[in-house]
Amino acid sequence: MHNPPFVALGNTLVDHRFVADQIVKGFRDYRVRFAAITGGARERFVQGEWQAVQAASKARILLYKECKAVVLETVRVSAVTSTDWPGIKRCFTIALEGMADAALAGTFYNSIYRASSNEAVPDDLNAFVSSDPELLIEPDSAVTSKYRGTITEIISQVLLECELSPYLANVKFDGEGISTRLRNDIPPLRDSADVSLEMVGVTFYRNKGAYLVGRLEVSGHLFPLSIAFGRVKDGVVVDSVLWGEARLSVIFSFTRSYFMVAVDEPSVIVSYLQTLLPGKKRWELFTSIGFYKHGKTEFFRGFREHLDQSNDLFRISEGIKGQVMMAFTLDSYQTVFKVIKDKFPATKSVTRQQVRAAYQLVKTHDRVGRMADTQEFQFFELPKDRFDPDLLDELSRVASASVNLETDVVIFKHLYTERLMMPLNIYITQCSSFQLEQVLEDYGNAIKELAAVDIFPGDMLLKNFGVTRHGRVIFYDYDEICPLTDINFRKMPVSNNASSVGADPWFEVGEFDVFPEEFATFLFPDEARKAIFSQHHADLFTVEGWTSIQEQVQTNQLTDVYPYPIRDRLR
């Protein structure tokens, strides 16, 4: 199995084992630094260091690129060519022996290969395309602690044994609150004195919250469970207890920042989480715990498998076409594919580089459950016979710089994927009157929560927001976003000159000038919908409403945003 240490390539000698060892070294460095950032999550949470929480989250996302760049410098110096990679892959696989997170290492290897090779689309000879590297050790399956007794007894024990126990302000009060809520919500608990509970042995930290996750068993019924913690002046408290797949699914949503959770074997944690959340795919769960690069790998494999098992065609997405991005979908897969167009209309004063920067900003920013996470791909290959002819025509006409139409395949030189949602402008034409009021209120909530984390959406038209299966409104069009604090909110000047009234402004308007008074007409041509929205969010039509949020952002007053309804809070 061992490759000869040196292979002659013309006048170049390349040591396959040296290159493989450099990739392993780079990956280990990444995991050590990743663990160090993650390991500080508890201290940041209990101390309420919220600015540090945001900085750590961003630093951890950028870490992958930093570690990759170090390895690439060494690999390029080694003058690796395409014929070297089969040997390097063999040596790399041998070097992984005893490594618990070999799957993640395989993704890191793929990143180095893709950046170093001239091959646009990798294959299994050179990279780990169809499967992860073979795991040469038995994974540790003991990811949970198990409890048995009455609900009050086991909840008290969980709180006393969790890593936040030393910081809890009132364990007895919190335990009673959890037990009472669960008895009220889950009828079998009222009659059962014998309950079992298993909890994952690590804490999930994100923003201003922390979570324990597990599963409750009552009279043969299984209930996914999460205990949510918050921080108050006197210490750490239980803020909510959530049960059921639907509630936990929202906590692990694609619209939220990645968790900080200290795990040596992410695959084992992901496998357990899938038993709690069978509606979530593996790639979603890897991404949610911070391993977004391996999430991409899992997505790619899962999607290729889906293509082999389906026969429907890629089509242009429903709804109003974007001016900057072209979007298409596959009806049988809940993903939208987005490509930057070659040219933008004059009304869009952005460049391709600025669009990519906006998407990167969203990746590293606190998404507060209101912005869809995206995955960025280069040289993403799809079978040409699965494309609707109208879509192929549109791609060649408006996105030729990003797409190569080959004989049998379509290769996207650059592409984003995103969870598919129903556009809000379409949803409001199909929903009930009750749903209409709910969704318009949540639309305003989404805008305010984005503003509270210093994001101004720019184009706030309803077509740029989507509605999830849980009825939440999510922003997904990022080409015009900018920091809220950059915006100059102004009142419309009053003119006494009747001749000044017209389509074009008669007064000077700066690049970042925004007039909230115009939002009412601009967003809601329909008076009935405008009235519904105004009942809840009339302040968004005023300068004062926006500047008050700006002041909170400028003074670092981070808003509490919960991944569950306010009614579910225990306090």
Of 82, 92, 121, 115, the closest CA to residue 28 belongs to 92
Q: 515, 426 in Cβ contact below 8 A?
A: no
512: part of which helix (H) or strand (E)? Answer: none
The catalytic residue among 84, 174, 373, 454 is: 373
Inter-residue contact 140 to 125 (CB < 8 Å): no
Provide the 10 A C-beta neighbour count for residue 54. 19
Closest CA to 7 of 18, 370, 276: 18
Q: Which two tokens stand for residue 391?
A: 């879509």
Give how far Cα 198 sits from Cα of 276, 398, 488, 532, Å: 11, 53, 52, 45
Q: How far apart are CA 117 and CA 82, in angstroms?
A: 6
Q: Is 133 helix (H, G, I), strand (E, B) or coil?
A: coil
Structure tokens at 397: 């006409």
* 477 has catalytic annotation: no
CA distance 347 to 326: 17
Residue type for 278, please?
A: P
Closest CA to 226 of 82, 234, 236, 210: 210
Which residue, among 167, 558, 129, 181, has the nearest Cα to 380 in the 3D structure?
129
In whole angstroms, give the CA distance from residue 510 to residue 352. Answer: 22
**CA dist., res. 106 & res. 300, Å (int):** 14
Whole-Å CA distances, 437 to 443, 531, 537: 10, 10, 12
Q: Indicate which residues carry an active-site annotation.
A: 373
